[in-house]
Amino acid sequence: MADIVSSEEEIKEVQEQLVTPWEVEAKDGGKIDYNKLIKEFGCQKVEPEMVARVEKLTGKPAHPFLRRGVFFAHREFDKILDAFEKGDKFYLYTGRGPSSESLHFGHLVPFMFTKYLQDAFKVPLVIQLTDDEKFLWKNIKLEETRRLARENAKDIIACGFDINRTFIFSDFDYVGGEFYRNMVRIAKCVTLNQVKSIFGFVNEDHIGKVMFPPVQAAPSFPTSFPQIFGDEKKSKKIRCLIPCAIDQDPYFRMTRDVAPRIGFQKPALIESLFFPALQGESGKMSASNPNSAIYVTDTPKQIKLKVNKYAFSGGRDTAEEQRQFGANIEVDVSIKYLSFFENDDEELERIKQEYKTGKLLTGEVKKLLIDVLTKMVEGHRQARAAVTEEMVDAFMAVRPLPGMFD
């Protein structure tokens, strides 16, 4: 179990700054230490040479999320690039736990990046909606999680995925057949002790939680999708790349450990930072506080109000002081958000420089951010309005994906 955190010492370290799929907490309310997280989890850093290699192989500029270190960690992404270079096939797998009616910008980050990867590498994609996970973990009725899954599918489709290369599925509807056979193979390789140490489960937890990890692991194996990849002989060699936020790493540590024991390749991962809450960078956004995030359904008025009122500022208290001393852009949330969503590198650099040196005031930077977010929300609103029930059915239909590698 080389990949899995298991020694007591390591567990203690992880507990100082807690990152599990359900909880993200920095030490003493400070910032998440991502370098430490990489070390503890045992992933690799995405280095600039890797980004350059992606650009070379795809013939396209790298996504800003890759250039700017938002997707900062990986496991065997280099092997995916090797495979692609040789003409070997791979597919993408990502997912969403449907726990809320609408998505916020933090939720959109992995999907925006996955869309870029799908376009750049021209590969098939499976998207898992873990309605079962949210039923098990949250206080939501089962039927409600199914409804939310469908609603969330519309927001995901609005990100622009190619219907000829994308399969979206709800666990409640899709689990069975080859997918279930893989789940059971996986489950047989993982002990109760291991899931307790990987996920922090305790004896009082219900067994639904213990049962779930194989559900999220199974899409990492191509034979879980025979309608897409064909029978076992044809599909087993196809590699899987999982773009996700780094809190999902425990699931895939488990999956990678099991994979060779049941005759599969380990899935590769490319993992992102957490998207900070408006109030600052101590963790990820909380669904229970609507003022901690900008939602894709927020009106321009709400966006303006939230940014102006809540976005943590690294600027000085008065305009005079700001002009004289400049802002601390390391802690400034508007700058953080602009680093995610201002696509123009030069413009971003200009804003940072001028804010740092006091030429720009907090209010002016916030205004720039409000403009960027308002445009994005408006674009998303239009794209989502164009998603019909028939389109959702089409993306979610169990079917081959014609031209998936063209």
Q: Where along the sequence are the contacts to ligand TRP (CB under 6 A)?
A: 21, 93-97, 128, 130, 133, 216, 242, 244, 248
Nearer to ligand TRP, 97 or 326 (CB): 97
Closest CA to 132 of 144, 119, 115, 116: 144
Nearer to ligand TRP, 243 or 326 (CB): 243
**CB-based contact 6:199 (threshold 8 Å):** no
Sign of CA dihedral 102, 174, 221, 60: negative
Exposure b/e, 138-160, CB count within 10 A at least 16 = b: eebeeeebbebbbbbbbbbbbbe
Phi, psi angles (nearest 5°) of residue 292: -95, -5
Nearer to ligand TRP, 293 or 335 (CB): 293
CB of 299 to ligand TRP, least distance (A): 26
CB of 176 to ligand TRP, least distance (A): 17
Closest CA to 258 of 195, 185, 192, 193: 185
CB of 94 to ligand TRP, least distance (A): 4
Angstrom CA distances, 335 to 12, 77, 155, 327, 385, stand at: 34, 29, 26, 10, 30
CB of 141 to ligand TRP, least distance (A): 18
CB of 22 to ligand TRP, least distance (A): 8
The rounded distance, in Å, linking the Cα atoms of 385 and 395 is: 16
Nearer to ligand TRP, 31 or 138 (CB): 138
Nearer to ligand TRP, 171 or 342 (CB): 171
113, two tokens: 């990046």
CB of 27 to ligand TRP, least distance (A): 23
CB under 8 Å to 249, separation ≥6 — which residues?
A: 41, 43, 269, 271
Give first-to-last CA distance, the chain, whole Å. 38
Nearer to ligand TRP, 169 or 310 (CB): 169
Nearer to ligand TRP, 178 or 342 (CB): 178
Nearer to ligand TRP, 166 or 374 (CB): 166
- Single-letter code of the amino acid located at 346: E
Nearer to ligand TRP, 124 or 326 (CB): 124
CB of 120 to ligand TRP, least distance (A): 18
CB of 142 to ligand TRP, least distance (A): 16
CB of 86 to ligand TRP, least distance (A): 25
User: From the CA atom positions of the chain, what is the Rg in Å?
Assistant: 21
Phi, psi angles (nearest 5°) of residue 244: -160, 170
Q: Tokens 């916020």 label which residue?
A: 104
334, two tokens: 């508007």
**DSSP class per residue in 361-386:** -HHHHHHHHHHHHHHHHHHHHHHHHT
Nearer to ligand TRP, 21 or 315 (CB): 21
CB of 358 to ligand TRP, least distance (A): 40
Phi, psi angles (nearest 5°) of residue 398: -75, 110
**CB-based contact 62:55 (threshold 8 Å):** yes
